[in-house]
Structure 1
Amino acid sequence: MGYFLYRFLSSDEVIYIGKTKNLERRISKHFSGNGHLEHDCIYETDKVEYAKVETNTEMDMLEIYYINKFAPKYNKINNYQEKNIFISINEVKWCQLEEFEIFKAKYELMKTDLKKVNEAKAELQALKKEINFISYKLEKIYENINNIERNSVVPLIGYETREKDKINNKVSEVLSIIKRNIYNKTSPAHIIENVHYKIIDERYLIDFKAIWPILEEYLKSKNDELMGRKEFIKLLIRSKYICGATSKYYYKTIRLSGKACKVYVCSLKDL
């Protein structure tokens, strides 16, 4: 403990001047990579020198003096770089810091470890991307398997077959109206892309909550009625027109017209 000035040199050029009351701790912190100095400064340093002074005031004044005398490139504060400074001062005696080589060696080791950590992080990011891609592929495969099961040519027996057909017919009636009005821009029930629905990979992500009042008005004008939306959703998720076997795959939240909307992922290819 005491009052110290210290300086970092690179090929005898002073590149940084500092002050401290605990020399070993301050230099150790610089060379740990956790100090405020740029890593380039630590890397360029090939010698550290210090000088002990008597008082805190002397330490503060001499730091400013030597910063402006040597104009070290890594000193950002108090570095006025004034050319004509006339001041009478007793120069301090600079001593070489013997522990410098130890601090430098620790820094080099830390830098190597940091490089390994960064390389490991990059590898982890690459693995995450690969896992996400594989998950997407598996989702597609799972979806295709479910579509094959729904559209299987193997006839179902009895009640189950009739029930499935009944559900598919009811759902297809509503989806057919939606599909017709998607492409009929003159219809009073015109349904607009990126407002009421979105298309991704040939699948329709439909906001039925927004579409339902339009369909009700449209069918009312034709003296026809529309089933309740909640009733339709229950049928939809049991039909062959829904994409995905569970809500994780067929039920999403996306942005339409700048707001978050809950949509169902449907296939309209067979309509």
Structure 2
Amino acid sequence: MFYVYRFLNKDLKVIYIGRTVDIKARMTQHFGKGGHLPKECYESVHRVDFLEFKTKNDMKIKELYYIGKYRPMYNTVDNHAVSFEMNELQDVWVTYSKEDIGKRLFGDSDELSKKQDFITHLKRENQELEKQLRLLKQGVFLELEKSRNQVKTLKKELSFLKQEKEMALESLRDMKQKIVLLNPFKKDSRLVSYERMVDLLVREPDMVGLRVVEGEVTTMLKLSGLEVHALTGLNTSEQHTIVLDSPNQNREMKDAFNPHILRFEEVSEAYTCDHWRPTFKCKPYKKGA
């Protein structure tokens, strides 16, 4: 619905005319804390009248007409005289005294006060919820930043683990290559006892390879031409001694495998292979000899 309302003082003089689409809400604004008129106006109000209309244009026309007719002192807009009269008999004003307006429009004063208190309570709750929402957003932002930092740390750790994995794979590839080099030696060789090794050294001095023990470390030596190569490591508890001599004493070799008088305190087994052609001369050696 659409409404035109007017305020009258105790002399029943019209002091203000307005329009609204919700008469209860507008009266609440005027006589609550949201009124836009001067305080003196509300204190002068003795009676409130209003008309109902079905269309918005009817409401606007009637408002302008009555403002022009009564020239209310608190209407500062469109307060101009009109040069014609309308049929006012069709207008049925609903009248409320100032004392009754609260009860008839909104209930008694206590009920109105309760409603206003409830509205105030809702506003405070809304403010508190907005505050909590802001704090929640800040907390979410902090947690998100913390998660991002954790992701960065995990990425660094993952990168480090990948590097370690690559190093381990590289070491594994090296071990596989050594195994590949060792396999032909094992395939074309046969394991003999220490006594058999001594016999071989006496009858066939061109030895091919030795498994030599130094302390707890066992090293497989491959004698090929003028070079000696370490192939693998094993453990043994047998204790024997052998010396390797070479006619190529002036040849520069690695210290660890210099064939010029290599002395090993523990030798357990010997390997031979028919297709190798070493030039080293090997003979058994005993401590104190």
- Place the TM-score, normalised by the shorter chain, in its bin: 0.3 to 0.5
- Richer in strand (by share): 2
Bigger Rg, structure 1 or 2: 2
The two structures have a TM-score, normalised by structure 1, of: 0.34
**What TM-score do the two structures reach when normalised by structure 2?**
0.32
